[in-house]
A and B are shown apart, each in its own frame.
Chain A
Amino acid sequence: MSLTRKDVESIAHLARLAITETEMPVYVDSLSKIMSFVEQLGAAEIAAVEPMAHPLKDQVQRMRPDVVVDADRHEKYQRNAARVEAGLYLVPKVIE
């Protein structure tokens, strides 16, 4: 399976990744190799097999009551943000 530059540009856009001109040919090549490599999976007999999402048998993700369990620590959390004002995260203007 060979991916084109256009394919990779489209994947990079979906993944919200800026890929430089130098990186682009490397990814076209290596992603093509990876997709060819995983094509081996086509040989497996899977017609009657249920897909597996959890590695432990009969385990399901637990539900919990929708109640507040933690204190408000937004100031501590926001110390890691690039730009904050009045408790809000700042980003470039979205609506003109």
Chain B
Amino acid sequence: MTELHHQTLAELSAGLRARRFSSVELTQHFLSRIERMNPALNAFITVTGEQALAAAAKADQQIAAGKGGALTGLPIVHKDIFCTDGVLTTCGSRMLSNFTAPYDATVVARLSQAGVIMLGKANMDEFAMGSSNETSYYGPVKNPWDLKKVPGGSSGGSAAAVAARLAPAATGTDTGGSIRQPAALTSLTGIKPTYGRVSRYGMIAFASSLDQAGTLTLSAQDAAMMLGVMAGFDERDSTSVDTPVPDYVAALGQPLAGLKIGLLQEFFEKGLDEANGKLVRDALKVYEALGAKLIEVSLPNLPLSVPTYYVVAPAECSSNLSRFDGVRFGYRCENPVDLMDLYKRSRGEGFGAEVKRRIMTGTYVLSAGYYDAYYLRAQKVRRLITDDFARAFNEVDVLIGPTSPTPAFDIGAKTDDPITMYLNDIYTIGANLAGLPAMSIPCGFLGGLPVGLQIIGPHFAEAKLLNVAHAYQCETQWHKQMPAGYE
């Protein structure tokens, strides 16, 4: 039998139903790997072993009774941004280092309802603010492909855990690239669905008009399986969209003949590593061989996406994070002299350097006298970028380009200059500003480090994206590569 940790969710699901192994055996297998291998990676903040084994035993009973669905009995890890009832939920911050969530996020509840087992909570950049998982209060996560390199961020723990096969899949969130960039840097399949497709209820808010939950998996097929359960209307999220969820798995395997792929000129020009670009072009040849047509398109306002994001996202973050006041939950400073001192020191000590930087950026761009010059202007440029995408999708079915300008960089290499760090997300931020679904899939290696291919589609085109990604994975083996030492 193939090693359990070599298998995709789809393969494990078939194995469980054929009784080749039990969910308890499967869960125990991953818990043992976590115990052995996580100390070097720091991918987990919390491991919920006992709970996981209890849930697995229940899943086994269901499977034995011929009940349950495709996901019943499969273990995964949740990004520590999702509230999990009765379990420590830190968001990678000292501020929430003592916070036991009093309820489940909708994403967690739906997966749990479908029989999915939680192995634990994954490390992440503090409040999802970072592109390297170096801002976590719980320390940086290491990239299993090279322990000196970052795994990307902010869903860096989710990515490292799945890449090292400590879990067969993970949830993540993506505000400016936080699923796709770590997926690219660790050779995984990551999907950020359309804004509003997956409920944000119980997902600790960073930038509410940009945040969206998704998955990090070993294949597009696995992403389709998980997303089918996670997606759908939720009355507890006022931005959740009431649109039927298609059967994503059934939509796989459609031929790509005649598919119109747009190549974004702006993506291939600015800051792209030449060798990285070559791998992306090689991937496009695979699509051409499958009958797709390549069409050059231009989104003239796209180069403004990073500055737009660094006004809009901090503005929303400064507002969202005002809830952390040291009173109702979260960190409180020692011996406050008065209420103002309590607020200021609890927040000053509870938040890390990057979070404070973003709160202050947001406070500034929203303050009297600056609102029009920064926030309102950024909201208008956001529309220009969104309109550019809409025009492109009149001509093409999907846009394909790189996910990240370079492969994984050294831990510590970009921590001194925030702008250098922010520019990591130059290719991913556009999809968040426009609310579009986007994926990253593995398309090769440079110097032993993975490179990602990004696929962006029109609103609610997740089924199409997954099919396009799946078609590539039927032709290539990149997504099956494993980092040395974790086979």
A positions within 8 Å CB-CB of B: 3, 7-8, 11-12, 14-20, 23, 26-27, 30-31, 33-35, 37-44, 46, 49-56, 59, 61-62, 64, 73, 76-83, 89, 91-94
A9 to B451, CA, bound (A): 42
Given A80-B330, A81-B329, answer yes or no on A44-B239 (Cβ-Cβ < 8 Å).
Answer: no
Closest residue on chain A to residue B365 by CB atoms: A38
A62 to B345, CA, bound (A): 37
B positions within 8 Å CB-CB of A: 98-100, 102, 194-196, 209-210, 235, 238-239, 241, 301, 304, 306-308, 310-311, 318, 322, 325-330, 332, 336-345, 347-349, 351, 353, 356-357, 359-361, 363-365, 367, 374, 376-384, 386, 417-419, 422, 432-435, 459
Inter-chain contact count A-B, CB under 8 Å?
A: 173
Say which residue of A14, A49, A50, A51 sits within 8 Å of B363 (CB atoms): A14
Across the interface, which residues of A come within 8 angstroms of B418, CB to CB?
30, 33-34
Central interface residue in A49, A56, A83, by most chain B CB within 10 Å: A56
Across the interface, which residues of A come within 8 angstroms of B433, CB to CB?
55
Say which residue of A27, A64, A73 sits within 8 Å of B357 (CB atoms): A27
Q: Determine if A92 and B383 form an interchain contact, defined as CB atoms under 8 angstroms apart.
A: no
Q: Determine if A50 and B337 form an interchain contact, defined as CB atoms under 8 angstroms apart.
A: no
A33 to B261, CA, bound (A): 37
9 more CB-based (< 8 A) A-B contacts, given A11-B360, A18-B344, A38-B374: A15-B360, A16-B340, A16-B347, A27-B356, A34-B418, A49-B381, A50-B383, A56-B194, A80-B98
Q: Determine if A92 and B336 form an interchain contact, defined as CB atoms under 8 angstroms apart.
A: yes
Q: Determine if A50 and B380 form an interchain contact, defined as CB atoms under 8 angstroms apart.
A: yes
A62 to B240, CA, bound (A): 9
Say which residue of A40, A41, A42, A91 sits within 8 Å of B327 (CB atoms): A91
Q: Determine if B329 and A80 form an interchain contact, defined as CB atoms under 8 angstroms apart.
A: yes
